[in-house]
Amino acid sequence: MSKIRRSTRGLNFMLIRRFSVYSYLSAVEQPRINPVGIQYLSKKLDKQIFPSKRDSKVSHDDEYLIELSKQYLETHGLLGKKTNISDPISFDIPKLQGSNLDDHFKKLALFSSQNYLENAKKLAEIDLPPKPNNFKFQAGWFKYIDGKTLKVDYPDDNAIIFDVETQYKVSNYAVMAVAASATAWYTWVSPIMTGESTTYEHLIPLNTQKKEMVIVGHNVGYDRARIKEEYSLQETKAFFLDTMSLHIAVSGMCSQQRMKWMAHRKLKNDEESTEDLIHESEANDPWINYSSPNSLAEVSQFYMKQQLDKSVRDNFSTSDLELLKQKFYELISYCADDVLTTHKIYKTVLPEFLEVCPHPVSFAALRHMSSGILPTNKLWNEYIETAERLYVESRQKVESSLVDLAEQAVELRNDPGKFQNDTWLNQLDWTITPLKLTKKGEPYKNQKLPGFPQWYRELYSTKDKKPIITTRSRITPLLLRLQWEDYPVVWHDLYGWSFKAESSDFERLKKKNYVNLPYFEKTYKKTKEEITEMEEKGELRNLSDIELSSFYGEKIKDEFVYFRVPNSVGPEHRTTLLLAKEFSTPFEKSILKSENPLAQEAIKMNSSCSYWISSRERIMSQFVVPSTEEYSLIIPQVLTMGTVTRRAVEKTWLTASNAKKSRIGSELKSRIIAPPGYCFVGADVDSEELWIASLVGDSMFKLHGGTAIGWMTLEGSKNEGTDLHSKTANILGISRNEAKVFNYGRIYGAGVKFASVLLKKFNPQLTQEECAKRAKALYAETKGQSGKYYSNKQRNKIWFGGSESVLFNELERIAHKNDPKTPVLGASITKALKKSNLNLNSFLPSRVNWAIQSSGVDYLHLLCVSMNYLITKYSIHARLALSVHDEIRYLVKEEDRYRAARALQISNLWTRGIFSENLGMNDLPQSCAFFSAVDIDHVLRKEVDMDCITPSNPIAISPGQSLDIRELLNIPESELGESKRLGLSKIKLSEIENFVEKSDDVSNSMDNFDFKKALIQMQVSTNDKDFKKHWNRFKSNEYFKRNNEFYEEITKLDGVSSFVSKNKVKNPTKLKASEKSMDSITTKNIETAPIHGPSTITSKRPLSIQDAEEEIKRRELEMIFFKDGTGPNQRSKPTSDSNSDYPGSKIIHSNRIKGQSRTENNNVNEKQSKDFKRQNRLDKSNQTSSTLKPDFTKENELRLNLSLQSDYKIPISSSNPFSSSSSSPLSEESYLSKHLQDSPKPKQYTRVAKGGHSLADENNFFKAQRQTRIRKDTRL
């Protein structure tokens, strides 16, 4: 019986397991595929993510965009390519807290931060109490309020300004701290200062485990690392708000601006600088007055014009604790002054930040980003000891061998023939200083190595009693007898490391693109002053000209030629270190070599120790605080917004590399080890910034994968060769991994020059011309060609024809706005990069890069806020450990690891969803909706299967677990379980001001669908002719549409003129630029289809009668100019082909007399224009006003009516006594005869010239007006 029960339980388990395996798949649902082959979310998930979306038919406008997208993809060979279609994923996710994702995230953010935000605002609105005159020199916290001093356990306010001071050369622990709130001041003193303890190891209590508190500081991450409650696996209720980060987000500067800012400050401080020079500098770069560096002193000077005296801080550099005790009151007062200054900055910068980043998510995420924690154990100290020991041993071994080589070389000092004939050793200074003797024949004291050559004396250390030589010493390549291209290396003070080759080998080396140095010997061992003097005397040409001309070849007459050893930065840079890690590849290829095996060992040592050399100080100074015997904790001192793009910055953990087998200490991240019972759960956002950038482009088509770059990002396959990196690799002839550098560099704004230099670095065998040619081909294929059009009274440049043209145009459109904002959370660019604050330098690459990277920061902030909500709602024991740009890792209890993994996938789903929704696409591709995998691991590392074996860690680390969404949903323990009621429905949302920048000219903005379609047509054009054709057609249709709207408006007015008042047009119809309607457009005729659409143009004020009558006259003249095919405001003369759709487009060409030059023809037009203007003035002089008189001649009125019909295409109503019943247009003669045959002949004419003119004269005027079609300005 028991066996049967066990069997039944097993069967039930199998059934449950089988059911769970397929529970996320829809048994009957077919995949949802968009028109370009991209699979969307299942219907169930789609309804949960976009609940407000309604099923509706695709509009004509959307169909048009889809057809354009297909055409675009077909041009780049992507339409119809294989895409990855899989079973739809379907499961239940938590219900949105709002009608859409934006409202949902606003509520999640306010739930996380509303109380903190209120307290933070209150602290910014008040003034601090007066600073106490006296401070208590006792250990612990003391409160100063209303003149009283009270002993307290910790500050009891919910918002404070906080600052700590350390004896930083002795210990990482604080020796004193000061806090201030709206009501009181507080001081804390370490027991070691008062003699109550003999150890520095004291942390500052703030009671933040039990009480919510806003803690404000300048670089507050440093202060956080000294707070007691932060060293706990349980997250505290503190919100660390950093004024340095707030300043950087509001008024920070990019790296290119920093150098200019420093130069400007130097100019201002220079006594010889004139005011005019300073003003000129500020006029060229106005942004200088809108930004500053980030230190407290600089920021104080920037916001309050307050100069801080930071000299007192030097006292904390002492290692003498007694000195600090003696100066306690001075030092604690200095700390309090910093608190005062920080509060003044905070009062200014917090409101500005909330205006610059108005979305609640941008503020709420700062709490999570500043709460990271990194656990480790006893292996941390072993790691440091092992890495340092190996580094010292390797260095000493190589340096000892180098000293032996120097000792061997110095033995030749008495045999000049040997070292003079040695190409390497003869470069050394063999000058020997003889032994000096007194009159008594005794040697003088303190003589340094008499009888030894100068080069040896310079190396010798009297303290160590031996020469000191390292791999970075100038003499090392000579002692190792290094060769480049089988020729000895030679040092030149001006050129750096070069090599001396035989002149017969010149052509071969020139083809390899080496830079020849024809005046090498003439300038060898000359000082810079001597070389300058030689140039002034004309003995030398400019050295840069020499190198350039010699690069293209000059006849070589000398026995030897000299070439520069190439530098990875570029051919114009000199090489100063040959044993650097970047020369490992040339060494492996035997381009750089030596017969001495020590050279290989030195290169290997330098490469192996490079990571530890560059990182050892930062790693060894980490503040590791023991928590229990099983684990210790490190607080990463993160600057939550450390760049202008609001990226987080931390000098060790956010820059840590992955483990490499040959690099000592590179296993650093794996030394972060989860405590017993915990693990790390995290993921990398797949192609985060590339997807965001491509999504911006796709939004133009309102279709995922609508652009070539968007399609490749979502569905590009390495096997099919359709992914972005494979395409770039094929164009440049490089590997796919190398292509990634080019792609990300291009997306971030790097140009052709960058690609050319980088290609040369990857393939030194290519010539500069070939590198430039391939780089240009890459940018022509990707970024496209540059085109120009006139809009909004200015010239605009856009890219067209490339796979990334639409993307770059959108990014540059954002960058060129007066106030660029991220498309999802609406965060603004810093003041230093705002267009209004730029002049001589546009910093366009930095502004384009800002749009992408700052959106990437928005992505991470959304993830953090979402995870916080799910962790709280479902009681998941997890907290953020570390976030590195596109990586996020949580420290989670083992039993909750799968629930945390599912929460992470749901958060990513919501985040991708809001990006799509806010960019106008209420759909989401299944391929990017989820993380490709969520990692569950016991150490911190890039991949769960990395063994992390390095020279300092020979033992492999056991692998972790990596789960994709399907595998995760198969695990029953991943169900989120019971949820708490958090009361988010009670949160009221306030409207955030629309951050979409409106154009002054609505017709030429993205709000006008006609303009948008024309712009897309131009961008997907493959040649300049099509590009111009689409823009000219749009301008033509737009001009006619403006005319229609004007005449529709004036027909609503009474008494505009006699013909308007008597013959008012009834039921006016819209003008069509072509007989075809949009409904008839198909894929075949899409290229020639007219642009149409509802008008978005509205009058700025009501049209008056006088305005209308004056506008009629203006437009009559304007229409004549327009019918030449260029339009009244068009600056370029279109071709006859591009004017084929314009009425009257061929007339202007018929005006040119056969055989006449353009200049001659322009002279004719100019004469005709003058005659026309003269006649017009003649008519005006006989009128009493600028309006048409009521007694205007019947025939002239008919002629005006006829002119309006032909020129403006104003329909003549059938009820109008002067209208024609015929559907075909009448000729002028038949029209006049028809309407004048029954009319009495008028006795007199009102409009008579001063000398008198006949009706025939007036007839000729009207004919000239309709037929001549003169250009107003022959340049147009």
Backbone angles phi, psi at 156, to 5 degrees: -105, 15
Q: In terms of DSSP H, where are the helices of 270-320?
A: 275-284, 296-304
User: Beta 159-166 vs 213-217: how paired, if at all?
Assistant: parallel
DSSP run (H or E) holding 312: none
- Burial code (b: 16+ CB inside 10 Å, e: under 16) for 1000-1023 equals eeebbbbebbbbbbbbbbbbbbbe
| Sequence-separated (6 or more) residues with CB below 8 Å from residue 1125 | 1032, 1036, 1134, 1138, 1139, 1142, 1144, 1145, 1148
Helix (H, G, I), strand (E, B) or coil at 44: helix
| Sequence-separated (6 or more) residues with CB below 8 Å from residue 59 | none
DSSP character for 132?
Answer: P
- Determine the Cα–Cα distance for residues 1091 and 214; give it in Å rounded to an integer: 56
- Which region, left, alpha or beta, applies to residue 1067 given φ > 0 means left and ψ of -120 to 50 means alpha? left
User: Beta 483-484 vs 466-467: how paired, if at all?
Assistant: unpaired
What stretches of 558-710 adopt beta strand conformation (E)? 560-564, 592-593, 624-626, 632-634, 678-684
- Determine the Cα–Cα distance for residues 921 and 698; give it in Å rounded to an integer: 9
DSSP character for 1098?
Answer: -
- Determine the Cα–Cα distance for residues 832 and 834; give it in Å rounded to an integer: 6
3-state helix, strand, coil in the chain (%, to 5): 45, 10, 45
Count CA atoms within 13 Å of residue 1173 on its CB side: 10
DSSP run (H or E) holding 269: helix 255-269
| Sequence-separated (6 or more) residues with CB below 8 Å from residue 352 | 246, 250, 251
- Determine the Cα–Cα distance for residues 320 and 408; give it in Å rounded to an integer: 47
Nearest to 1034 by CA among 1099, 940, 959, 1127: 1127
Nearest to 105 by CA among 469, 360, 485, 433: 360
Residue pair 961/683 in contact (Cβ under 8 Å)? The answer is no
Residue from 46, 102, 157, 163 carrying the catalytic annotation: 163
- Determine the Cα–Cα distance for residues 1004 and 1011; give it in Å rounded to an integer: 6
Backbone angles phi, psi at 128, to 5 degrees: -70, 150
Nearest to 522 by CA among 546, 489, 551: 546
Would you state the structure tokens that stand for residue 79, as one six-digit string? 């339409």
Residue pair 209/232 in contact (Cβ under 8 Å)? The answer is yes
163 catalytic residue (yes or no) = yes
Q: Name the residues annotated as catalytic.
A: 163
